């Protein structure tokens, strides 16, 4: 990549100072990522890091029966290969391309050499780590307490934020894997959003028709994850979705146990 090239869309690459980016860009290669393309395997050396531009990568936890459940998604706000930043060369998870798009790729050795310079890249990756932890933690809680319809809306919004179009490829198998449910459950949840004319879903493609309506259908987890990412990576402050929640009093936590989901009470999966 030429040193005088236009700065990328990727927030990490855009945030570092010009001189640092020019040095880093010498080791960057722009590539296209295809659906299901593996970026790193479980318990295998991570060979490259990827600064995503327009696609979406998925990190999944792998089970002994060969199934997997998504634990995090990575788009233009982040980087694939974060274990290398933390000084380890492998992880128990798999990461693959979920929504096709472009990315900048860098060999692990070059990336580690840049880290040893202890420049701005180290600082921004530390902040990105915190944003990713928030995403993983909030998504885990969301998967436990919120309805499938709200979770599906959250996930579609997170993907819509990262692609440069209202339409993107997404198979039913991928969506089921991302949400950790059977395909029939995904069909019901996506069908509910489509019946409400919020999305159009057919032949492995999603089209967002009503962004505001989709936000109304999502749970607060989407806004918590987005707010923390914007605060840490872009310096933007937005309204805290939890500002009216009393979390403690006199130094003691006031938080309660979660309410059961509608489906646990025999209700409709589509209920909010």
Residue 176, helix vs strand vs coil:
helix
DSSP per residue over 79-96, as a string?
A: EE-HHHHTT-S--SSEEE
User: Which residues make Cβ contacts (< 8 Å) with residue 230, sequence separation at least 6?
Assistant: 236, 237, 238
Identify the residue whose tokens are 């290398």. Answer: 84
Is 177 within 8 Å of 69 (Cβ atoms)?
A: yes
Question: Which tens digit of pLDDT belongs to each residue from 12-57?
Answer: 999 999 999 999 999 999 999 999 999 999 999 999 999 999 999 9
User: Which residues make Cβ contacts (< 8 Å) with residue 214, sequence separation at least 6?
Assistant: 153, 156, 157, 160, 193, 198, 199, 208
> Domain 147-218, CATH 3.90.1150.10 — does that match?
no
| Neighbour-count burial for 98-114, b at 16+ CB within 10 Å, e otherwise | bbbbbbbbbebeebeeb
Residue 206, helix vs strand vs coil:
strand
- For 11-139, CATH gives 2.60.120.10
User: Which residues make Cβ contacts (< 8 Å) with residue 262, sequence separation at least 6?
Assistant: 147, 268, 269, 271
State how far the Cα of 146 lies from the Cα of 222, in Å rounded to an integer: 12
Burial (0-12, 13-18, 19+ Cβ within 10 Å), 186: buried
Domain with CATH 1.10.10.10 in the chain: 147-218
Structure confidence at residue 172 (pLDDT):
80
Sheet of strand 205-208, all strands in order from the earlier edge strand to the far edge: 167-169, 205-208, 199-202
Closest CA to 59 of 83, 102, 104, 94: 94
Percent residues over pLDDT 70 in the chain: 93
Give the H/E segment covering residue 131: helix 120-145
State how far the Cα of 219 lies from the Cα of 222, in Å rounded to an integer: 6
Give residue 241's pLDDT band: very low, low, confident or very high (50, 70, 90). confident
Give residue 122's pLDDT band: very low, low, confident or very high (50, 70, 90). very high
Question: Which tens digit of pLDDT belongs to each residue from 159-201?
Answer: 999 998 899 988 888 888 777 788 888 888 889 999 999 999 8
User: Which residues make Cβ contacts (< 8 Å) with residue 72, sequence separation at least 6?
Assistant: 58, 59, 132, 135, 136, 139
Reply yes or no on whether the pLDDT at 263 is more than 60.
Answer: no
Domain with CATH 2.60.120.10 in the chain: 11-139
**Angle, helix 120-145 to helix 148-162, in steps of 10 degrees:** 160
């Amino acid at each position: 990549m030429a040193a005088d090239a236009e700065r990328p869309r990727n927030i990490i690459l855009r945030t570092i100072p010009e001189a640092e980016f020019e040095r880093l860009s010498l080791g960057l290669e722009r590539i296209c990522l295809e659906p299901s393309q593996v970026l790193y395997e479980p318990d295998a050396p991570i060979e490259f890091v990827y600064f995503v531009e327009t696609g979406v990568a998925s990190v999944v936890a792998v089970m002994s029966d060969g199934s997997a459940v998504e634990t995090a998604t990575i788009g233009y706000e982040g980087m694939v290969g974060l274990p290398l930043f933390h000084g380890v060369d492998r992880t128990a998870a798999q990461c693959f391309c979920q929504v096709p798009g472009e990315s900048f790729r860098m060999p692990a050795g070059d990336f580690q050499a840049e880290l040893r310079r202890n420049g701005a890249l180290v600082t921004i990756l530390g902040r990105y780590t915190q944003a990713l932890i928030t995403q993983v933690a909030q998504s885990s809680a969301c998967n436990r307490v919120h309805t499938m319809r709200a979770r599906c809306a959250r996930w579609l919004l997170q993907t819509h934020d990262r692609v440069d179009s209202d339409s993107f490829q997404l198979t039913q198998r991928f969506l089921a894997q991302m949400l950790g449910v059977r395909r029939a459950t995904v069909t019901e949840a996506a069908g509910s959003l489509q019946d409400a004319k919020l999305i159009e879903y057919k032949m492995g493609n999603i089209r967002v028709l009503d962004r505001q309506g989709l936000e109304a259908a999502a749970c607060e987890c989407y806004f918590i994850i987005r707010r923390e990412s914007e605060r840490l990576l872009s310096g933007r402050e937005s309204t805290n979705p939890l500002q009216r929640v009393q979390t403690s009093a006199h130094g003691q936590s006031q938080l309660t146990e979660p309410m059961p989901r509608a489906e646990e009470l025999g209700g409709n999966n589509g209920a909010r």
